[in-house]
Amino acid sequence: MMANLLEHMGMEKDRVQFSWISSAEATKFATVAREVAQSVEALGPNTKFVKGSD
Partner 1 sequence: MSETKQTKVVSFLCNWCSYGAADLAGVSRMQYPENIRVIRIPCTGRMSPKFVLSAFREGADGVWVSG
Partner 2 sequence: MESYIEQIRTLAVDLLKSGKVDVVIGYRRGSVPMATVPFMARTPEQAKQLTWDSHCTLNLANYLTNRQEKIGIIAKGCDSRNIVNHIVENKINRDQLHIIGVPCKGMVNPKELQTLLDDEIISCAETGSTLTIASSQAEIKIEREDHLRNNCSLCTHRNPVIYDDLVGEAVEEPVLDDPFKDVNAIEAMDADEKWNYFDDLLDGCIRCYACRNACPLCYCPTCFVDESDPQWVGKGQNDTDIKTFHFLRAFHCAGRCTDCGACEAACPMDIHVRAFTRKLIKDSKELFGWEAGMDISKRPPLDTFAPDDPNDFIK
Binding site for partner 2 (CB under 8 A): 1-12, 17-20, 32, 35, 48-54
Question: How far is residue 49's CA from residue 5's CA, in Å, rounded to a whole number?
Answer: 13
Q: Backbone phi, then psi, for 25, in 5-degree steps?
A: -95, 65
Residues 25-54 that bind partner 1 (CB under 8 A): 25-30, 32-34, 36-41, 43-46, 48-51
C-beta closer to partner 2: residue 37 or 48: 48
Instruction: Assess 17 for contact with partner 1 (CB under 8 A).
Output: yes
Dihedral, CA of residue 25, residue 26, residue 27 and residue 32, to nearest 10: 90
CB of 13 to partner 1, least distance (A): 11
